[in-house]
Chain A
Amino acid sequence: MSAAGRGEAGRAGDDVRSDLHVAVELTASGGLEIELISRVASLYGDSIRETVRSTLSGMGVRHARVQVDDKGAVPFVIAARVEAAALRAGAPPGGDGRPESTVPARTHSALDRLRRSRLYLPGDQPKLQLNAGLHRPDGVILDLEDSVHSDHKDAARLMVRNALRCVDFGGAERMVRINPLPLGLEDLDAIVPERPDMVLLPKTESADQVAAVDARIREVLGVASDAESPIWIMPILETALGIERALEVAASSPSVAALTIGLEDYTADLGVAKTVEGAESAYARGRLVNAATAAGVQAIDSVFGDVGDEEGLRAWAGRSRALGFEGMGCVHPRQIQPIHEAFAPTTGEIEKALRIVAAFEEAEAKGLGVVSLGTRMVDPPVVLRAQRLVDVARRAGLLEEAES
């Protein structure tokens, strides 16, 4: 891919949009020479040149020949491609090619926030990232693992880092799926300073792996080992061994906020076909829900891959909620709404739960030890479940509607 002193990055071709191709050739003298082809040259030519210059000078590159073939990329994308090409050309690492951060200040996500939907965004495809937050998923996952070819891991890491600095994902929780260890540790070095809310760790099979991630996050952040890490971890269990160790993994660190399952890899590990009904993964999913609950973390389901089959998605999500999962992944923004609806408590459930909670509060106020609804006694676990359901409904914005 790169001859000595020359490196390329990005995408070229007629169907490319919101991306670019960059070739950087490091030279001994002559300053920065920029050759630009762009469909937006008359409108953003100067801006593109400025982004190239500031990125390279931040990296300490003073002399280079740069060829840019731009297809309407926004500045953070240009910066990521230029940095990747320069590093591939042999520019010394350690410089700072990061674009200025443009995301508004934000608060870190809560341990038990709503995680009904998480939208997968291939880390190396900026076009899909720009407007992802507008579809209002509970979370976005910038993916460095399966959606990124092994030759592009370095470039994708820079793209994801820049996206975290420059893309406003709205109210969505910002997650990054890193690569399996040890490569994933290098991913952490790049992305942790940008404070994602959560890191997804694929192919997790042991508490040690979680500990390694936890330690690396603290190291990069410079946080003391006993301080609580502000970056949550969601281990992905996707092997038979991982499933068997679900409880160990879930309980391995206070940073673990949720467990999830990767069904493609899991069924491959078992050597069985993945079906729409999912009988082959019934044990694994049940085991995961049980372990997550035992450890006090959320159980989150896999994805439903057929974007065109909304009915199938709703059916899957409905079964998933019935099993005890609190959310699942989305491979397309159109899956978000059906998933939110499927994981939402029904009006009937909410009304019943509200009655139980009201009865509980009344009993408390009267100092009664027994909660009763009409002529029936309500057991404490039923009260607890009702309280949880009311809580979920309130956070999903469903409560006012049910009360009125």
Chain B
Amino acid sequence: MSVGKERSADFVVNAAGRRVPVVVNGRSAVPFAGVGASIPHGPKHGPPIRSTADYPADGDKRSPNLREALERCGLRDGMTISTHHHLRNGDQVAVAALEAAAELGVKDLMWLPSASFPCHEPVVDLMRSGVVHHIEGSMNGPLGAYCSRGHMRGLGVLRSHGGRWQAIQDGEVHIDIAVIAAPTADAFGNADGSHGPSACGSLGFALADSIYADHVIVVTDHLVPFPCIPWQIQGNNVDFVVEVDSIGDPKKIVSGTTVVTKSPDRLLIAEYVARFVRDAGIMKDGFSFQAGAGGIALAFVGYIRQMMIDAGVKARFVRGGSSSYLVDLLNEGLTDYILDGQTFDLAGVRSIGEDPRHVATSPFTSYNYHGKGNFASMVDAVVLGATEVDVGFNANVVTHSDGMLLHGIGGWQNCLFAGCTILALPSFRDRIPVIVDEVTTLTGPGELVDVIVTERGIAVNPGRADLLAALEGSDLPIRPIEEIKAEVERLVGGPPAKPALGDEPVAVIQWVDGTVLDTVWRVPEATDSA
């Protein structure tokens, strides 16, 4: 394998001061020009027009197995296969689809997952054997290591959930075949995630794939007679339906229960976040917030819930990923709606399946930047994590401080547009400070990050004088970010050394508008952290 050869490219320095390639996987790439600065042109991508004449009139699109379905979709070398990640670490469909492609003898596929998980480790072997050329999507664990070490042939392209919709819609990536795992489906291809033995809640991440792909295969382990009600995926977009014994391991798809963190430091951070939202005047009747399923975010929901009860305040909507904590708010009348992007536990799945006030959203409604607005900027406060932030409030969510790919972007970048963006972070992990001089990989520009909450204090972006004014008189520990940084460095023995990274790009970070925000560089084996 000629590692590196096909990625040799010219670089430019973008508006964020980052060196980025001008060609990514053979496509010319636009460097980040600033928030809101890059204007899109032209029509959206359109899939080929089809005729009902070519599909069975009785609506039965079943195909006996994935291999045959892929073959009938015309799978050949170099094509792009997409999958979604609503089955999370329990997913068995993505690997099955790529392995079926391997059996057909095709090579050099691009895999476009909406996110990858440890269960997708077999794709490493499929890359080694040449079946998969490269991945455009989140990479962590063994996949992240394979890419970070420079073994992947193409460049990894990391996009936000909204950015993935944008890229597909704009035709920046072309999906030849979308393989959509569906917890319930009918033979026509109508599909939904809220019911069935492998229920996962929403199927929103597969929606763009179903609309824009040339071919769509629905794979289900719970085939119901037409019609599948409700349907989030419309059968009119679907070519084939494949029935399998199991699409995934239910225990790994959703957790039985989500448990709040027991770490006293993380609980303290969560409490500070909730008090911040209250004291800054954000928590008022009709407000909205988004918090994910991380330990701190869940604990935050617990604290804000109590504060809402004490103050007699009700939210108009909250945004998931949903869990029992958000469902409790809905059931207690503390919010009118849950607008849910993905569902993390059984309580969430049950609620989205039964309660009309718990609504499945998609990256189109919530996050897509190339649309006529989206929900993310209408949310009053969002609580997010990060691996690093710098003194300019720039944040990194994809790489570890040693440069290794660690996380996908998820909806993180899209959420930065909320009224108040709060990063809730421990001030150091193991020994590694979270506040640094300059982030290893820029994932979110500092102008969009309003507040950083750590267990050592809360730093407010100096650009948000309104927040600082609103907090006048609050007894929260509001501190300059530099002061918190210095305190942590005293404890951990100084700032970390700069890791020696290679000068070879292994992946790029795309901004929500498809421009290239930063480059992820190869991590030499020598700096392996054992």
Interface residues of A (CB under 8 A from B): 17-18, 37-47, 51, 71-75, 102, 130-131, 134-135, 166-168, 332-334
Contact = CB atoms under 8 A, between A and B. Distances in A.
B401 A41 contact: no
Interface string B266-292: 011000000000000000000000000
Contacts of B493: 44, 47, 51, 74-75
A358 to B, nearest CB: 27
Given A18-B430, A43-B432, A72-B432, A38 B529 contact: yes
A42 B430 contact: no
B267 A38 contact: no
Contact of A47 (B429, B490, B494, B529): B494
B514 to A, nearest CB: 32
Closest 9 CB pairs of A and B: A72-B430, A43-B496, A333-B264, A42-B527, A75-B493, A72-B431, A42-B499, A42-B402, A37-B530
Nearest to A71: B430
5 contacts: A37-B530, A41-B527, A42-B499, A51-B493, A134-B456
Contact of B265 (A17, A75, A134, A166): A134
A340 B529 CA distance: 43
A43 B440 CA distance: 12
B320 to A, nearest CB: 27
Nearest to B269: A134
Contacts of A135: 264, 268
A42 B491 CA distance: 19
Given A43-B499, A102-B490, 17 more contacts: A39-B529, A40-B402, A42-B497, A42-B527, A43-B401, A43-B432, A43-B496, A43-B497, A47-B494, A51-B493, A72-B429, A72-B430, A130-B491, A134-B268, A134-B455, A135-B268, A167-B491
Interface in B2-55: none
A130 B499 CA distance: 25
Q: How large is the interface on B (under 10, 10 to 19, 20 to 34, 35 or more residues)?
A: 20 to 34
Contact of A43 (B264, B402, B455, B490): B402
A135 B456 CA distance: 10
Contacts, number: 80
Contact of B530 (A38, A51, A168): A38
A362 to B, nearest CB: 33
Nearest to A17: B430
B259 to A, nearest CB: 12
A39 B499 CA distance: 13
Contacts of A168: 487, 490-491
B470 interface: no
Nearest to A72: B430
A102 B487 CA distance: 10
Contacts of A42: 402-403, 497, 499-500, 527, 529
B492 interface: yes
Nearest to B477: A134
B297 to A, nearest CB: 18
A47 B491 CA distance: 13
Given A44-B496, A47-B494, A74-B491, A334 B267 contact: yes
A131 B492 contact: no
Given A51-B493, A73-B431, A332 B529 contact: no
Nearest to A128: B264
B296 to A, nearest CB: 14
B215 to A, nearest CB: 44
